[in-house]
Structure 1
Amino acid sequence: MATLTSVIDAFVASREHDRATLGRLAFWVECLGSRELSEITPEDVDAALVRLAERGRLKPRRGQDTASAGVPLAGSTFNRYVSQLQSIFKYARRLRLLPRAHVPPTRGIEKAPETQDPNRYLRPEEVERLLKVARVLDTRWGRLSALILTAFHTGLRVGNLQALRWRDIDLDKRTVTVDKTKNGQPIVSALSERAAAELAKLPGQTPDALVFAGRLGCPHHFRGLWVKVCTEAGLPGRNFHQLRHGCGSALATAGVGQAQIMAIMGHRTLTASARYMHQNASDKLAVVDRVFR
């Protein structure tokens, strides 16, 4: 029977994963990696989760391993660790490493409460502030405003955007094709007229060239510029991924249904898009209040 480590190794090899996903998988390998998959019990998972809660958040240390930051994990982060282990058992069942009737040891684990963070999403008016500042500060690279607008209007992840080549973009049809997303599936995203117009201004539109390349043709490391723009726009501490969340939130606020949000953002599960639906509910309430006075 396969061990948890061997199954996780196969899972990692099956597609590309972001650093956060790999970190969560590493935790499960550390705690239960040597155990055979079928022998892992709910008690084993509970013990690992107690250990996770005691460890809390990690902070990187230059030239060393990560260390505890002395800060509790957010409820949403804690839930992602549980979901990550659930995905491994689901993957093992798909590979017939476990019988279909197998009950995963994660079943019945209660989710940690998640508080709604108002700073989790970049709102449309905040994106406009970022764009205005980016146009002034980005005098050398000249692509940050196009990157921000494309990210916000498509909901694509930063890794997918950095890997885009001009052959993946059809400005006439206003589409962006990503061959492989985080979940291993291709996606064709629609470009707004405004995003398409912003991209059309960029130079070097040869098919094999990266859309958001640096001077040497490689992906441009724009983090320092992003931090500077956020600070000048009065939005310090925001991260680029919040543009993706902002896209989902804006769609839900406009009344777009969950199925359409899933299709636009490349979600495979209802849970992934459900985080935005509170915006939809708030918008509906405003409509009802306005109509039925």
Structure 2
Amino acid sequence: MATIRERKDAQGNKSYHVQIRLKGFPPQTRTFDSKTLAKQWAAQVEADLRAGRYIQRVEAERHTVREMIDRYRKEILLTRKPQREADQGRVLDWWSSRLGAYSLAELTPALIGTCRDEFASIPTPSGGLRAAATVVRSLATFSHVLSVAVKEWQWLETSPMSKVAKPRVNNERVRHLSDDERDRLLAAAARSANRYLYVIVVTAISTGMRRSEILSLRWRDISLPKQKGSYGLILLNRTKNGERRGVPLTGVALQEVERLNAIHADKHTGRADPDALLFPSDRVPDQPINIHPAWDSARRHAGIEDFRFHDLRHTTASYLAMGGATAPEIAEILGHRTLNMVKRYAHFGKDHIASVLARVNAARLGGSDSSKDDQATPDPT
């Protein structure tokens, strides 16, 4: 039960000291200048204690958003890949600058929603608005901080992020190179002043690897074939989804990597340095080369519009689908955990699916197999 005692100081000012004692809970005390506020607080605390909510609320009042983010940096973020740590660190800096002074008890969905809208309105370096996917990633980063505070530290009872609406993201873009565009792009890359651009573009189209995966390759990640006619293997230890992945290296891409290997070995007493990057910067050899200017120049010279480097990955997937590869096969090559991302390429494989259905229908239902129509016996008349 709550006990409220009136007190007076030397100047005659009144205050009201509240003490709440409930069996099974430590005593709770607080002092107010108003008796009305004292009664309201006592009623709220008693209700929360009986419902099991009060301890969590007190804990939330003791910690600020900045304190929560700082602890997350030390215990969670530092254990992640350097690039992810840097990317998420910048996002957390922004959230801390906007909400750091608030206590966790004051953090509401409405407050987070206001910050979401502010983040979305910040112009990009090119002057446009931030993409919905960028806003969603920012919310997801902050959401994970709140989830850790709820589940592991018990600083919050629930995460207010669960009631914050996320912008709708449209990731259905599938831009791939036509045969003519591919030939023009490769020709422009071959003429580029950047000595690595051609092999990087060829490797991207041949393997479906991401730009960051290609640029971070070291010679220890490459297994070249010991006999002619076999294939090489790229072992990716650090991928976007955190899983190791082996990628076969064949055709022109294999030839170009073998050429680079020979050049590199000549400069290192006949043997490639396993720790060296395949595509090092001229200024800082242990940093990947910056291909942005060369890529943009080659794309312009090839006359290709509305095309990003990441679209080379879509090109690979589209070529695989048109070649009859199944969804699980495409997912394995590209390193997708689920088949959802692969569904966007399904329409490229309709010819293959149609031929399969034609063979099955011909075998089970009779009639002609459309795949054999071109070989039909001509009419003798």
Instruction: Give yes or no for the alignment of 1:155 onto 2:211.
Output: no
Whole-Å separation in 2 of the counterparts to 1:92 and 1:188: 36
Total equivalences in the alignment: 275
Q: CA deviation at 1:184?
A: 4.3
Identity %: 23
Give the counterpart letter for 1:13 in structure 2.
L
Would the aligned equivalents of 1:40 and 1:105 in 2 still touch at CA under 8 Å?
A: no
Using the size of structure 1 for normalisation, the TM-score is: 0.72
Using the size of structure 2 for normalisation, the TM-score is: 0.58
Greater RCO, 1 or 2 (C-alpha within 8 Å, sep 6+): 1
The gaps in structure 2 that reach 5 residues or longer are 1-62, 226-230, 266-271, 362-369, 371-381
Give the counterpart letter for 2:218 in structure 1.
R
Alignment of 1:88-103 (within 5 A): 88-89=145-146, 96-98=152-154, 102-103=158-159
Q: CA 1:214–1:112 in 2, change beyond 3 Å: closer, same or farther?
A: closer
Whole-Å separation in 1 of the counterparts to 2:108 and 2:351: 44
Partner of 2:82: 16
Partner of 1:135: 190
Alignment of 1:165-176 (within 5 A): 165-172=218-225, 173-176=231-234
Q: CA deviation at 1:114?
A: 2.2
Whole-Å separation in 2 of the counterparts to 1:29 and 1:259: 42
RMSD value over aligned CA atoms?
A: 3.9
Partner of 2:111: 44
Partner of 1:123: 177
Partner of 1:63: none
Question: Which secondary structure does the structure 2 equivalent of 1:235 belong to?
Answer: coil
Among 254, 274, 279, the residue aligned to 2:345: 279
Give the counterpart letter for 2:168 in structure 1.
A
Whole-Å separation in 2 of the counterparts to 1:146 and 1:27: 38
Q: CA deviation at 1:20?
A: 5.5
Instruction: Give yes or no for the alignment of 1:195 onto 2:253.
Output: yes
Partner of 1:178: 236
Among 211, 214, 225, the residue aligned to 2:278: 211
Give the counterpart letter for 2:83 in structure 1.
H
Larger CA Rg, structure 1 vs 2: 2
Q: CA deviation at 1:169?
A: 0.4
Whole-Å separation in 2 of the counterparts to 1:233 and 1:253: 24
Whole-Å separation in 2 of the counterparts to 1:267 and 1:37: 36
The gaps in structure 1 that reach 5 residues or longer are 61-68
Give the counterpart letter for 1:123 in structure 2.
L
Q: CA deviation at 1:263?
A: 3.9
Whole-Å separation in 1 of the counterparts to 2:312 and 2:96: 32
